[in-house]
């Protein structure tokens, strides 16, 4: 692949992955370590307390939570009273969905820390599942401290009263959440769900309406209210709130399915048919609220607790899988998606996401096969074909990818702003197959849909500079991309390299030094800085940068060129331009 293509490909793939995967440390396992290799090296020592503790830390750093839990449990055998070891093992067992082990450790945890909130919640859930509702409430009452404890404990207590058909006590328990603005969406939704579950249709009608007015853009609020409206004999009102949700630019397979059920005249079951399902709904809602960079570890735990109450809970599985994806635990995400039944409206999406995860795991043959099967089931679906195009592009099958992008676009009733990326990616495939006119058309179309998209500005601007076309507009495009993403080392590198191409070497040095600061481990950016140093007469520094680039494991096709520069430096400028153009042809 030509140098320009390699650079843009790397920038592209990092951007795509970055959009899907948040670079967040899993709080439970935020320890220094050297990964799975280090775990293997400590196996011999793992029988001891210190060895097991070290192995557990290393497994946590590698996000291998099941292995980490095992090592901490071994350490506990040597030091059973160690509160820190006990809590880590407990949290890791919860995260790994080993609920029975977690329940055992939770009881031990309560013995050393009676106020431990999660331990009380877990033991209470065990009693709840056994039908011991009063005992469950005893534990949950002692978990009601701190904001998350108050919310969790109160919702679970209310559902335990519902399990005993005591609607009055359930509603009274929920009043403990009143007055806190953060709790209002949960209070409104679960008050309506409990009234509905208890058969108080008249009150449920009013409460669902209030819940919708308070948070009508929340998926579960729309789903539950729409479900009630259909059962209340008002399907057209249900359709109206579904379409209002979609009108906000929000799409979800569950809403599409609900509209389809209205058209078919299908009789619906209530969203909550057992108190257990209501309690699972509460835990899911809290998990969803915690699913950001600061709460991912507890989001996983609450999702696992929800699934421990209700295994057939596709939306909770989807949430859990997405959190795993955000920390690049793709194997775990695939396993969770596998639990979504085929008849669920979320199953096609789970198959698509599984294919994306397989592709990240470099199992693109399996990803491609799954997507082709989905397309064979329904050739009119846009998303499977788009995902297949992305997989083919990732495999450098550019012509086949371009064909799939074209077929995907043909399935759209109307091209919207959100489809800029389809034109952008198809433009890349056209450029890689040396059909520049088509590529340029797609890049310009992408900018029509989203004029300030930095990826497109960067790619098109650099391509124009490389072709000595629209030079003034091109450099302004790249500057604009840098303004929009000033900390993106790849885009800053493009600006520096554009200056280099235009023989503006001092400007090139300035931008490329900044790009290296942002991406110190990228071999191409270091190589570019070496070239710029050479052109401004800083030959010793240029040699250092080229050697550093070589140490960073560049692409095989780049190694020879770097070694040649280390041996002979850069040729004079006229020769260099000819050589550069030849290498990019």
Does 475 reside within a domain? no
Does 103 reside within a domain? yes
Does 340 reside within a domain? no
How far apart are alpha carbons 367 and 357 in whole angstroms? 8
Give me the pLDDT at residue 36, please. 46
How far apart are alpha carbons 393 and 216 in whole angstroms? 39
The number of beta carbons lying within 10 Å of the beta carbon of residue 281 is: 24
Does 344 reside within a domain? no
How far apart are alpha carbons 4 and 2 in whole angstroms? 6
Output the tens digit of pLDDT for each of the chain's 585 residues: 333 443 444 333 333 222 222 222 222 333 333 344 444 444 444 445 566 556 555 656 566 666 666 666 666 665 667 788 888 888 888 888 899 999 999 999 999 999 999 999 999 999 999 999 999 999 999 999 999 999 999 999 999 999 999 999 999 999 999 989 999 999 999 999 999 999 999 999 999 999 999 887 899 999 999 999 999 999 999 999 999 999 887 889 999 999 999 999 999 999 999 999 999 999 999 999 999 867 888 999 999 999 999 999 999 999 999 999 998 999 999 999 999 999 999 999 999 999 999 999 999 999 999 999 999 999 999 999 999 999 999 999 999 999 999 999 999 999 999 999 999 999 999 999 999 999 999 999 999 999 999 999 999 999 999 898 998 899 999 999 999 999 999 999 999 999 999 999 999 999 999 999 999 999 999 999 999 999 999 999 999 999 999 999 998 889 999 999 999 999 886 433 333 322 222
Does 30 reside within a domain? yes
Give the count of alpha carbons within 13 A of 307, CB side only. Answer: 25
CA 100 to chain centre: 28
- Structural domain count, the chain: 1
Q: Answer for the pair 174, 194: CB distance below 8 angstroms, yes or no.
A: yes
Does 165 reside within a domain? no
Give me the pLDDT at residue 25, please. 25
Give me the pLDDT at residue 64, please. 64
Give me the pLDDT at residue 244, please. 94
DSSP symbols for 302-347: HHHHHHHH-S--HHHHHHHHHHHHHTT-HHHHHHHHTTS-TTSTTH
Give me the pLDDT at residue 295, please. 82
**Could you tell me the CATH number of the domain that includes residue 57?**
1.25.40
Q: Which domain holds residue 83?
A: 24-113
Q: Rg for the chain (alpha carbons), in Å?
A: 28
Give me the pLDDT at residue 38, please. 44
Q: What burial class does residue 125 get, using C-beta atoms within 10 Å of its C-beta: 0-12 exposed, 13-18 middle, 19+ buried?
A: buried
**Smallest Cα–Cα separation from 564: which of 530, 522, 537?**
530
């Amino acid at each position: 692949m030509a140098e320009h293509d390699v650079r843009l490909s790397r920038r592209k793939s990092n951007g795509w992955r970055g959009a899907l995967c948040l670079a967040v440390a899993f709080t439970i396992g935020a320890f220094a370590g050297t990964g799975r290799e280090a775990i293997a090296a400590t196996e011999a020592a793992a029988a001891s307390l210190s060895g097991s503790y070290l192995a557990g830390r290393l497994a946590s750093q590698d996000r291998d939570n099941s292995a980490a839990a095992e090592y901490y449990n071994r350490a506990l055998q040597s030091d059973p009273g160690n509160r820190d070891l006990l809590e880590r093992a407990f949290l890791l067992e919860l995260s790994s969905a080993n609920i029975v082990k977690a329940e055992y450790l939770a009881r031990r945890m309560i013995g050393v820390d009676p106020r431990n909130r999660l331990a009380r919640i877990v033991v209470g859930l065990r009693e709840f599942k056994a039908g011991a509702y009063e005992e469950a409430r005893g534990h949950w009452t002692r978990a009601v401290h701190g904001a998350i404890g108050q919310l969790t404990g109160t919702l679970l207590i209310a559902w335990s009263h519902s399990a005993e058909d005591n609607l009055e006590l359930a509603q009274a328990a929920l009043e403990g959440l009143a007055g806190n603005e953060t709790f209002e969406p949960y209070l409104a939704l679960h008050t309506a769900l409990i009234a509905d579950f208890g058969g108080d249709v008249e009150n449920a009608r009013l409460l669902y309406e209030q819940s919708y007015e308070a948070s009508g853009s929340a998926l579960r609020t729309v789903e539950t209210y729409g479900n009630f409206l259909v059962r209340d004999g008002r399907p057209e009102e249900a359709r109206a709130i579904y379409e209002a949700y979609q009108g906000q630019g929000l799409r979800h397979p569950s809403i599409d399915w609900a509209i389809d059920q209205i058209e078919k005249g299908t009789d619906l079951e209530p969203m909550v048919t057992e108190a257990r399902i209501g309690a699972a709904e509460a835990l899911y809602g809290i998990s969803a609220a915690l699913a950001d960079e600061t709460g991912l570890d507890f989001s996983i735990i609450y999702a696992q607790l929800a699934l421990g109450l209700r295994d057939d809970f596709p939306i909770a599985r989807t949430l859990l899988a997405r959190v795993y994806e955000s920390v690049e635990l793709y194997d775990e995400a695939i396993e969770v998606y596998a639990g979504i039944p085929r008849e669920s409206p979320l199953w096609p999406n789970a198959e698509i996401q599984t294919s994306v995860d397989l592709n990240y795991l470099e199992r693109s043959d399996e990803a491609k096969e799954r997507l082709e099967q989905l397309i064979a089931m329904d050739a009119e679906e846009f998303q499977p074909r788009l995902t297949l195009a992305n997989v083919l592009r990732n495999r450098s099958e550019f012509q086949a990818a371009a064909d799939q992008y074209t077929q995907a676009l043909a399935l759209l009733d109307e091209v919207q702003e959100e489809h800029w990326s389809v034109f952008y990616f198809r433009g890349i495939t056209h450029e890689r197959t040396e059909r520049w006119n088509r590529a340029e058309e797609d890049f310009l179309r992408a900018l029509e849909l989203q004029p300030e998209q930095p990826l497109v500005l960067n790619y098109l601007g650099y391509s124009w500079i490389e072709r000595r076309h629209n030079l003034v507009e091109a450099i302004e495009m790249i500057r604009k991309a840098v303004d929009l993403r000033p900390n993106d080392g790849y885009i800053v590198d493009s600006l520096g390299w554009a200056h280099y191409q235009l023989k503006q070497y001092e400007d090139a040095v300035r931008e490329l030094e900044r790009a290296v600061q942002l991406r110190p481990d990228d071999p191409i950016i270091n190589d570019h800085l070496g070239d710029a140093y050479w052109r401004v007469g800083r030959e010793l520094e240029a040699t250092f940068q080229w050697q550093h680039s070589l140490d960073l494991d560049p692409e095989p096709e780049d190694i020879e060129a770097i070694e040649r520069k280390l041996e002979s430096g850069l040729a004079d400028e006229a020769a260099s331009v000819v050589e550069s153009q030849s290498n990019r042809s």
